[in-house]
Copies of this chain bind each other. A is one copy, B any other.
Amino acid sequence: VKLEDLGEFQFIDRIAPGCVIGDPKRIIQGIGDDAAVVVAPDGCQLLTTDMLVERVHFVRGSITPRRLGYKALAVNLADIAAMGGTPHDAYVSLAIPRDMKVEELDQFYDGAKELAHSCGVNLLGGDTAVSEQDLCISIVVTGSAPPDEVLYRSGARVGDRIVVTGTLGDSAGGLEVLRTKTALPESISAALIEAHHAPALYLEEARILASSGLAHSGIDLSDGLSSDLRHICSRSGVGAVIDAASIPLSEELKALCSAVGKDPIHLALSGGEDYRLMATVDPAGVGRLSREIGAATGRNLYDIGEIVPGDEIVVRQADGATKALTGRGWDHFHSPGTTARD
């Protein structure tokens, strides 16, 4: 059996049995969410780890080492945020090609340290090894949360509103700009590429959502809304309706899409690496959460749909017609013909 026939998520289901070996009461969440959750005397401990591989997740030379260091840490912090946690410590491991200069590595660490400083996260270790070919980055972030304030993928309830913390599709738009070199006003391409290389983080939003008692599930949008919402729905045993007209789209993405003749809603639904937070929340609480988040961060919470009974995810168009959302977003082993996302 080849991995690409099985897919990443079936592979995870295949390896998960027999993995909880010690005291099972310690383990609240093992394999299968954005982070593992373990009981600690003062709350829950979270741990997440994400790999970025050259020629799969990025092309060296089309992202600066500094941005790469920033992004590699950011995608891990987004997983802690998705669980409603506060990140504490990061560990950076690199398999380094022989042709990489120390100065490039300095810049990589400068980028990671820049983000770590802005979040109060320590860099406490990792590993460095040589690589014969590709740069491989593996980062671990630990965090914590009060036990009753962790957001799992499995908690969505029928009637919940589906909310996201930012515009969708910008990262995919940035990738499109890098790939096609579409001529656009500089400020537009720069904003989209920045969304792709230096995703915004929503740590404060995460804590507001998780501590409110109004959010029932959460995930970060790494693989694309269509794929990530499916994780929430399948773990929670529910379906979802997304209102196409409610999906927040940036002016920059709209400008790109009108220049290249693409549908921005398609990029918003299936494009990966936005790293916005998605949560499902009590319908009576959306207004209060929006106001609290606005007051604390100046940013918005966008209501894009509803959790419904069943197991289907549909998109409702402006004219009321619905379409089943079958796209799987980004699955690492079901990849398209391209070899790099960046």
A165 on the interface (CB 8 Å rule)? no
Which label, helix, strand, loop or mixed, suits the secondary structure of the A interface?
A: mixed
User: What is the interface of chain A, defined by CB distance below 8 A to chain B?
Assistant: 1-4, 6, 8, 11-12, 14-15, 18-22, 26-27, 30-32, 35-36, 38, 40-42, 47-57, 88-89, 91, 93-96, 98, 100-103, 105-106, 109, 113, 116-117, 120-134, 136, 138, 140, 142, 332-333, 335, 339
**Contacting pair B47 A91 (CB below 8 A):** yes
Given contacts A30-B122, A30-B125, A49-B93, 15 further A-B contacts (CB under 8 A): A1-B102, A3-B105, A3-B130, A4-B98, A19-B124, A21-B122, A22-B122, A41-B42, A47-B142, A48-B125, A56-B131, A91-B140, A95-B136, A133-B133, A134-B134
Closest B residue to A6 by beta carbon equals B102
Question: What are 9 A-B contacts defined by CB distance under 8 Å?
Answer: A1-B102, A3-B96, A21-B120, A53-B132, A55-B132, A128-B332, A130-B332, A130-B335, A132-B339
Closest B residue to A33 by beta carbon equals B125
**Contacting pair A125 B56 (CB below 8 A):** no
One of B41, B48, B125 near A49 (C-beta < 8 A): B125
Closest B residue to A99 by beta carbon equals B2
**Contacting pair A120 B1 (CB below 8 A):** no
Bound-complex Cα distance A52 to B130 (A)? 9
Q: Chain B's nearest CB lies how many Å from the CB of A337?
A: 12
**Contacting pair B125 A31 (CB below 8 A):** yes
Report if A27-B125 is in contact (Cβ < 8 Å); known contacts: A6-B102, A102-B14, A109-B15: no
**Contacting pair B21 A129 (CB below 8 A):** no
User: Which of A6, A35, A132 has the most chain B CB atoms inside 10 A of its CB?
Assistant: A132
| Residues of the B chain whose Cβ atoms lie less than 8 Å from the Cβ of A36 | 89, 91, 124-125
**Contacting pair A91 B49 (CB below 8 A):** yes
**Contacting pair B49 A126 (CB below 8 A):** yes
| Residues of the B chain whose Cβ atoms lie less than 8 Å from the Cβ of A19 | 113, 116, 122-124
| Residues of the B chain whose Cβ atoms lie less than 8 Å from the Cβ of A57 | 129
| Residues of the B chain whose Cβ atoms lie less than 8 Å from the Cβ of A142 | 47
The 10 closest A-B pairs by CB, nearest first: A138-B138, A19-B123, A36-B124, A1-B102, A41-B41, A136-B136, A133-B133, A30-B124, A36-B125, A55-B132
Closest B residue to A17 by beta carbon equals B113
Q: Chain B's nearest CB lies how many Å from the CB of A71?
A: 14
